[in-house]
């Protein structure tokens, strides 16, 4: 694994690994905790359930559950099309035809920023395999709250299992790297960073000056995006609390 890809083979999986698989042509990824013998515990919303963001994500992100035909359910998991919350699935159902990737913990700031796509690594350090698996099974029994794509999603669940940390409920975005990336990208696009400044120069500047301004704006935008990702990583931010497991 490295900066380019976190893709791994199944035989390299270890209990307690945080794994993920891309969905919808790499539009988003689904995350879970590999526990043992081909089983994955993950957090999902069932088919047809709203995620309540009020954004275009509601139309893009579908159910994370495997889409087996009703007449041909998984021989191990059965029909999962109506299940929701924290569930246990075989790895084939979890991947739903996608490739397997492993989330990286304890990376350096340089490595973190080199990963342009959020939701693949964190500066936070993972706790022991035993603690991770214990939390995953605890949430399987007790639940992980109501699914929300920006505040409480499958990546939030896996990060909490691995670190024992969770962002306080009052914030707008949870610890999910994907959610932070979506928010950071939307921030500078909404501000018109890509267009407003370059177009202002178009009518009164030379092509060279316009190109230089465009490149400068792009660099500034990407810098803002990287800073937002970094300061919102669970390994850096301060608005987190340690989760207490109560039986």
Residues serving a catalytic function are 30, 42, 154
Tokens of 142: 């007790």
Q: Give 47-77 as a 3 state SS string.
A: CCCCCCCCCCHHHHCCCCCCCCCCCCCECCC
Angle of helix 129-142 relative to helix 154-163, nearest 10 degrees, comes to: 130
Helix (H) / strand (E) containing 28: strand 28-36
Contact 234, 163 (CB under 8 A): yes
Whether 18 and 29 have beta carbons less than 8 Å apart is answered as no
User: What tokens appear for 107 in the block?
Assistant: 């990376």
């Amino acid at each position: 694994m490295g900066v380019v890809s976190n893709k791994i083979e199944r035989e390299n999986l270890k209990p307690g690994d945080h794994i993920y698989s891309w969905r919808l042509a790499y539009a988003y990824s689904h995350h879970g905790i590999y526990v043992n013998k081909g089983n994955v515990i993950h957090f999902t919303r069932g088919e047809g359930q709203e995620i309540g963001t009020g954004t275009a994500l509601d139309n893009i992100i579908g159910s994370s559950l495997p889409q087996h035909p009703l007449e041909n359910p998984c021989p191990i998991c059965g029909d999962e099309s109506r299940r929701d919350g924290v569930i246990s699935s075989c790895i084939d159902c979890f991947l739903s035809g996608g490739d397997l990737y492993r989330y990286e913990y304890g990376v350096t700031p340089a490595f973190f920023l080199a990963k342009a796509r959020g939701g693949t690594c964190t500066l936070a350090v993972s706790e022991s395999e035993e603690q991770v698996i214990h939390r995953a099974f605890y949430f399987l029994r007790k639940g992980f709250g109501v699914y929300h794509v920006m505040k409480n999603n499958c990546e939030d669940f896996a990060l909490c299992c691995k670190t024992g940390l969770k962002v306080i409920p009052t914030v707008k975005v949870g610890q999910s790297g994907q959610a932070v990336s979506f928010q950071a990208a939307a921030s500078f696009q909404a501000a018109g960073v890509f267009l407003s400044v370059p177009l202002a120069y178009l009518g009164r500047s030379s092509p060279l000056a316009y190109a230089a301004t465009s490149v400068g704006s792009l660099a500034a935008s990407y810098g803002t995006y990287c800073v937002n990702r970094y300061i919102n990583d669970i390994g850096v931010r301060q608005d987190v609390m340690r989760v207490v497991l109560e039986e």
